[in-house]
A and B are shown apart, each in its own frame.
Chain A
């Protein structure tokens, strides 16, 4: 059974600071996704990482993937209040006719002025 663990689950930080969210997964996969969810809303796709060593950046967010360590990170640089949200990593898997995503529990991020 594929398990996805995120940490921390809750993070309160000040504007201007840097921080990293970690996502570990238990079995081999070559698809790792990061999503953002605002309260009461659906998910917004941030990054899709498809290969070992992949690094993608968008604004103040940067995501990386190490498939050997089964680890992905989401790094926040010089955080701003607008980045407050819940961030999910999700791992893609195929098998048994199903082909969906297994999500981590999410990291609830609050950025304070």
Chain B
């Protein structure tokens, strides 16, 4: 089956620093990748859609200068949280879609900003 990995699985950083999260599709090419955020005991909220070789499309209310997305290849997308603050602490989950309609989700990255 389709496998999506994320790295790191958890990260703790100081307020004001930047954190990069990688999302990789391991056994298929993902023309589109998605980034979601999930707060404790809440649902997933789509942050942005990432297409290989083009700029990401951000959802309303998501700051594109704060959450930098790069989709450099058909198997890799990165999310960089710039100048992180405690309110950015969350569970960040990526998903990848290949040829079909199914989105395959990564294991998630738990970010804690102190």
Contact = CB atoms under 8 A, between A and B. Distances in A.
Contact of B105 (A45, A99, A105): A45
A101 interface: yes
B105 A101 contact: no
A48 B102 contact: yes
A103 B34 CA distance: 13
Interface in A3-55: 31, 33, 35, 41-45, 48, 50
B101 A45 contact: no
Given A42-B107, A88-B43, A99 B102 contact: no
A97 B43 contact: no
A98 B48 CA distance: 8
Interface residues of A, number: 24
B108 A45 contact: no
Contacts of A43: 44, 93, 95, 105
Contact of A101 (B34, B48, B106, B108): B34
A42 B93 contact: yes
A106 B41 CA distance: 9
B103 A33 contact: yes
Interface string A75-108: 0000000000000101010001111111111100
A106 B49 contact: no
Interface of B: 32, 34, 42-46, 48-49, 57, 59, 93, 95, 100-108
Contacts of A45: 102-105
Contacts of A103: 43-45
A70 B48 CA distance: 25
A48 B71 CA distance: 25
B101 A31 contact: yes
11 contacts: A42-B93, A42-B105, A43-B95, A48-B102, A92-B101, A97-B49, A98-B46, A99-B32, A100-B59, A103-B44, A103-B45
A35 B105 CA distance: 10
A90 B49 CA distance: 16
